Chain A
Amino acid sequence: MDILNKIRESLQSGNDEKVRALTKEAIEERITPKEILDEGLIYGMDIIGKKYKAHEIFLPDVLLAATAMYAGMDLLRPMFIQEGIPIIGKVVIGTVQGDLHDIGKNLVGIMLKGAGFEVINLGNNVSPLKFIQTAKKENATVIGMSALLTTTMPVMKNVMDLLREEGLIGKIKIIIGGAPVSEEYAKEIGADAYGYDSVNAVETVKELIKNSKKFV
């Protein structure tokens, strides 16, 4: 079994220590960071995502695999920065102002990272201005917003209004999600997409990135 295959296998069994050791070994063997990431870590997470979608594994399995992936990523990240290797896309995520529910949004962040995206997680209680300012500063392609309350959902519309004022509609894509949110609501406020769960959110963000225009 080659080392990248071993990384995939260890990641799928959620063995973070082994993934870290194998990633280190792969770096020492001069396998490129991009190859370790794409063919080892992301490949492994992709299998995990598919198994989860097919109900073959449970949420804790996904999260253990994600922790293992981060263990490998921690070693690769400095090399990516040093070598200026581009990432597939940058996504700013957060739970909207007034809302403290984090878990669902964190799951989306985990799955996005697993798919190779750079994720800037602003946490919870995030103001519309902070979403926009961060996305501009980081040159992000997508903003993902979460709300778990009917009383905080309107903040999503405030972000859309601000985006419109700044002339950024279409330049930064918006995906929304959360228990009370629906596809209809996404359309109503002019968001680009609705993600009904973490796996679907990743697929949708991939589509958004494919169709997006970069702004500078």
Chain B
Amino acid sequence: MREIIEIPIYDVKPSRVTVLKTQGITIDRELPRKIEALFNRAMELFIEFSHPKGIISEISIPEFESIYTGEGLNEKRTPLDDIFREAGNLAIFAVTLGDRLSQKIDELFKANELALGSMLDSVASDGVEKAADIVEYHFLKLLSKKGEINASTGILRYSPGYCGWHMSGQKKLFEFLHPEDIGITLLGSYLMKPLKSISGVIVSGEKEIHNFEDSYPFCSQCKTHSCRDRIRGLFRESGHNNKEVIA
């Protein structure tokens, strides 16, 4: 299975809390009116200029092993190295918000509309994560139709450039998936263009396979430790909504 997914823009809902947090704002009091107005305008521009699209392809464990190995630059031990070998199902994916949005952000900065440009950038960063959530959910539904999802199934995505999987892994991922078909190209530095794009592998298996300690050598350099929230979310009752899909 290889599929291009047109994602309706109104399904992509950037989180107000996350966007404001990126701007250094934690909402423990009423937001100043001018910042509220900036956020609202950035959301309007996001809807006007984004064109979210995804591409997904199922892949076997041996096929993914070759992609994961990439150019041989991964850390010696990584969480994903263990996780994907125990997966029930794997899919590689890429998702983008399109080039117009990046251009709009650039234009705003060039026109000295700095606050709006920065806010739109934060909205777009969370927006592309939400678009990736939709592709992940699409895979979940697909597996559900095949009867391969149950209450103990956990689905999470992993991307090159994180948790010891070297960015150069993008090269083989692109060779296999061809995200060029949705307008994403890969630069020599393995950076994707448009900038607001995400690629990686979606791993479906027993929830427990995703559970790892953040004690790898490279974890000490990580500034977010966002893996903790992702893993916790998987085990929370209200976490990954398998029940809705199974029902």
User: Is B195 a contact partner of A100 (Cβ separation < 8 A)?
Assistant: yes
Assess the B167–A58 pair: CB atoms within 8 A: no
- A70 proximal to B (CB < 8 A): yes
* Interchain CB contact under 8 A, A64 and B115: yes
Most buried by A among B24, B25, B113, B119: B24
Q: Is the CB of B223 within 8 A of A179?
A: yes
- Are B121 and A151 in contact, CB atoms less than 8 angstroms apart? no
Of B84-92, B126-134, B182-190, B201-209, the stretch lying at the interface with chain A is B182-190
CB atoms of B191 and A59 under 8 A apart: no
A66 touches B114 (CB 8 A): yes
The distance from the CB of A105 to the nearest CB of chain B, in whole angstroms, is: 11
Q: Are B112 and A70 in contact (CB under 8 A)?
A: yes
**Cβ contacts under 8 Å, B176 to chain A:** none
When distances are taken between beta carbons in the complex, the residues of chain B under 8 Å from A127 are none
A60 touches B161 (CB 8 A): no
Q: Is A157 an interface residue (CB 8 A)?
A: no
Q: Could you tell me which residues of chain A, from 45 to 93, have a CB within 8 Å of some CB in chain B?
A: 58-61, 63-64, 66-67, 70
Q: Note all chain A residues with C-beta closer than 8 A to B195.
A: 100-101
**A102 at the B interface (CB under 8 A):** yes
Tally of chain A residues near chain B (CB < 8 A): 25
Question: Is the beta-carbon distance between B23 and A60 smaller than 8 angstroms?
Answer: yes
Is B242 in contact with chain A by the CB < 8 A criterion?
no
Scan A13-54; emit 1 where CB is below 8 A from any B CB, else 0: 010000000000000000000000000000000000000000
User: Which residues B121-159 have CB closer than 8 A to chain A?
Assistant: 121
**Residue B214 at the chain A interface, CB threshold 8 Å:** no
Q: Does A149 contact B (CB under 8 A)?
A: yes
Give A124 Cβ to nearest chain B Cβ, in Å.
Answer: 9
**Residues in B whose Cβ lies below 8 Å from that of A110:** 114
Contacts A59-B118, A67-B114: A100 and B23 contacting too (C-beta < 8 A)? no
User: In the complex, what residues of B have CB within 8 A of residue A190's CB?
Assistant: none
Q: Tell me, in angstroms, the Cα distance from A103 to B34 when the chains sit together.
A: 21
Give the contacts of B170-206 with A (CB-CB under 8 A).
187-191, 193, 195
Q: Assess whether B34 is in contact with A99, with CB atoms less than 8 Å apart.
A: no
Contact (Cβ within 8 A) B34 A64? yes
Minimum CB–CB distance for B189 against chain A, Å: 3
Q: Does A98 contact B (CB under 8 A)?
A: yes
Contact between A63 and B189, CB atoms less than 8 A apart: no
Q: Is there contact, CB below 8 Å, between A98 and B24?
A: no
**What are the 6 A-B residue pairs with the smallest beta carbon separation, nearest first?**
A98-B189, A63-B115, A63-B114, A60-B115, A64-B115, A151-B189
